[in-house]
Amino acid sequence: MAHFDFPLDELESYRPALPEPDDFDAFWQQTLAQQEGFGLAATFDPVPNGLATIDTFDVTFAGYGGHPVRGWFHLPVTRTGPLPVVVEFLGYGSGRGAPHEIRLWADAGYAHFVMDTRGQGADTPDPDPASGDIAAPGFLTRGVLDPLRYYYRRLYTDAVRAVAAARTHPDVDPARVVVTGTSQGGGIALAAAGLVPDLVAAMPDVPFLCHFPRATTITDMPPYDEVTRFVKRHREHAATVARTMAYFDGATLARRANAPTLFSVGLMDRICPPSTVYAAFNHYGAQWDVDQSDKQIQVYPFNDHEGGGTAHEVVKLEWLADQLESSV
């Protein structure tokens, strides 16, 4: 394994032009407005988790199209007053798992909402309007010939509604909501940060779903190879695929984010190449003129897609505590 992307000094200034459809903002405004007819209908049912320090609740809320989306909601057993909540999104092919699996932020004293991923986990199906369309195996090309039918339109909408659902719990301080995730979860966190204007922090780790034009040409690793395999077979659809994906690019959505952010990047990451992560980081907050002091990126020069792993969790815990203290 070796460095294969731009040198670090070039990455730090890498701010590529992003192909942005003229109706990008209208597309997302209309998408989210269409969901307002579906009540959140969020339920929090206590479940046993075998843990002495955390209470866990089985969550169901209405996501895109009113479809039921599942999650785990964790709270410290000992708690006083409304808590900040960390809403976490999951990596490609991952679901919420067992109640005790993902609980770092509850261990740290926060409310912690883990959103299941439609069609990828075992608990949230994806009613797919494009199920008869041509696609490569996986999720990246499901409905890719029409942005209205594209898989990530549903998933990003779920993420926005997960934030809203988390805010309804009486033990949550709705003014202190944080989003985070790794890989696909990091890309979803960026989408949520770009579509929800009043988050207190965003922590995307080695984010996937960023700067699609470069990602799909610089790496042949999955999942990005799903797109190249699709276009290799269906050459006549290359321009249509590019246009659809432009509505869902994490780097473009990051431009619209305004919360303080902490990214991470592995400079040997072949799955989410460093230049795609820096494209999102360097564009982050551009439409709001977010202060550079509110943007940090933790660089792991010799790491692949694992990024900083548990060492980065320590960085995140310290950074978030500082952010929340300064936001009071």
Q: Considering 94, 183, 264, 275, which one is annotated as catalytic?
A: 183
pLDDT digits (tens, 9 = 90+) for 275-291: 999 999 999 999 998 89
Mean pLDDT of the chain: 97
Average pLDDT over residues 41-62: 98
pLDDT value at 328 more than 80: no
pLDDT level of residue 37 (50, 70, 90 thresholds) = very high
Tokens of 70: 């599942």
Reply yes or no on whether 183 is catalytic. Answer: yes
Q: For 8-327, give the CATH class.
A: alpha beta
Domain extents in the chain: 8-327
Q: Considering 211, 283, 305, 312, which one is annotated as catalytic?
A: 305
- The residue with greater pLDDT, 130 or 296, is 296
**pLDDT value, residue 290:** 86
Q: Are 180 and 87 in contact (CB under 8 A)?
A: yes
Helices 184-195 and 151-167: crossing angle, nearest 10°? Answer: 70
pLDDT level of residue 199 (50, 70, 90 thresholds) = very high
pTM strictly above 0.95: yes
Strands 68-76 and 54-62: antiparallel
Gyration radius from the chain CA atoms: 19
Q: Considering 94, 264, 269, 283, which one is annotated as catalytic?
A: 269
pLDDT digits (tens, 9 = 90+) for 158-191: 999 999 999 999 999 999 999 999 999 999 999 9
5-14, 126-135, 271-280: the lowest-pLDDT one: 126-135
**pLDDT value, residue 131:** 87
Reply yes or no on whether 169 is catalytic. Answer: no
Strands 83-89 and 201-205: unpaired
Average pLDDT over residues 260-265: 98
Neighbouring C-alpha atoms within 13 Å toward the C-beta of 80: 0
41: left (phi over 0), alpha (psi -120 to 50) or beta: left
Q: What is the DSSP string of 54-72?
A: EEEEEEEEE-GGG-EEEEE
Reply yes or no on whether 269 is catalytic. Answer: yes
pLDDT level of residue 272 (50, 70, 90 thresholds) = very high
Average pLDDT over residues 14-18: 97
Tokens 């994906």: give the residue: 245
Question: CA–CA separation, 223 vs 269, rounded Å?
Answer: 13
